[in-house]
Amino acid sequence: MPKVAYSTEEREKIINRAKDYMQRKPDAPRTKVATYAGVGLSVLIRWAKEDDFVIPEPITSKQRMAKTPWKGTIV
């Protein structure tokens, strides 16, 4: 029997919080969504598979570099 760290009410609250954050900021990386929801990324990925909701795909290195304020200044 697996250990349950969150009650069903807490789990639903965390999932709703993550969904709300993804609607407000659709370009947010998945780690920020998990941090805002208050759980680790692995927990959110597992719950997404179980509860059938979609979390953002991991960003590529090009996307990460495009978001940096140092874009174009580093040689």
Structure-model confidence comparison of residues 49 and 4, the more confident one: 49
Q: Where are the domains of the chain?
A: 8-67
- Mean pLDDT, rounded, of the chain: 86
What are the CA-CA distances from residue 63 to residues 13, 18, 33, 60 (Å)?
30, 21, 17, 5
Q: Report, as an integer, the average pLDDT of 54-59.
A: 86
pLDDT value, residue 62:
85
Q: What is the pLDDT of residues 3-33, one digit of tens each?
A: 678 888 999 999 999 999 999 998 888 999 9
Q: What is the pTM of this model?
A: 0.76
